[in-house]
Amino acid sequence: MRYDRSRRILVTGGAGFLGSHLCQRLLNDGHEVLCVDNFYTGLRSNITPLLGHPRFELKRHDVTFPLYVEVDEIYNLACPASPIHYQADPVQTTKTNVLGAINMLGLAKRTKAKIFQASTSEVYGDPEVHPQTENYWGRVNPIGFRSCYDEGKRCAETLFFDYRRQHDLSIKVARIFNTYGPRMHPNDGRVVSNVIVQALRGENITIYGDGHQTRSFCYVDDLIDGFLNLMSSSDEITGPINLGNPAEFTIKELAEIVVALTGSSSQLEYQPLPPDDPRQRKPDIAKAEQYLGWSPKIGLREGLHDTIAYFKTVI
């Protein structure tokens, strides 16, 4: 969805997987883009094609510190999103979620900018409700290995809605379900990248648990459409709104599809399930369909085809 006029838009975490795709789309729609990243997990290669663009600016910055810029809109995507990366420095992960939200909300308050928060399906934890609707409060371990991310994102949502109530900020909160596509980090530890990389290398494919736990996989182009639709919706639509593909697959099914698409000789190798790993994950996207006119269009096999082609170029 295109905007009615050009804006100066800040994207934190802009050199990451989702952030780089968002920057590209915003430039394509005629906006000025200020990409901010501390390159903890973001990659300069993700945004190299954008560096010469006259409406693109890159700034190395950590969102745990205040940022003094002038912008019309803010997309707050800054935070490691894979367990391997966010558990490597859990204190910093919590700071990125909480202090990052405070600093970006403060910037939005000063500049009167509309602000978008990239929240996550992890706020639902290991859910007792299936599929997950936005009014479900979740089942999250507050002191586990994943808590820095899960509870950090939950606290960020709290801050967004308190700033809305206390300062009348224009906010948008999206709860993102598993997303995949080109520019995923090969070593991010997420299931799609893990399975594709192992299949392409002919290694055994690691399956945690019995492989019957489920996920719903959304292709990145569909997700970015959801971001833009939410951001351009009326101020009354604040979210949180689930954005994801409701087609549900077991992890074993995903691995078998990737093996077939790559022609790999890899075998499945089963390992113990990590602590607090959700058994089921599927979004209810009725609100996104009703309020944003959004639903994903790209099926898993089609999206995996393009994702596999990308990984062939980087490993």
Whole-angstrom distance, CA of residue 137 vs CA of residue 101: 20
- Block residue for tokens 């599927």: 282
Whole-angstrom distance, CA of residue 278 vs CA of residue 209: 11
Of the residues 149, 163, 180, 219, only one is catalytic, namely 149
208 is catalytic: no
Collect all residues with Cβ–Cβ distance below 8 Å to 92 and sequence separation of at least 6. 64
> Among 297, 285, 290, 63, which residue's Cα sits nearest to residue 174?
285
Whole-angstrom distance, CA of residue 198 vs CA of residue 292: 37
Q: Residue 137 CA to chain centroid, in angstroms? A: 20
Q: Is the dihedral of CA 266, 145, 154, 209 positive or negative?
A: positive
Whole-angstrom distance, CA of residue 267 vs CA of residue 262: 13
Active site residues: 149
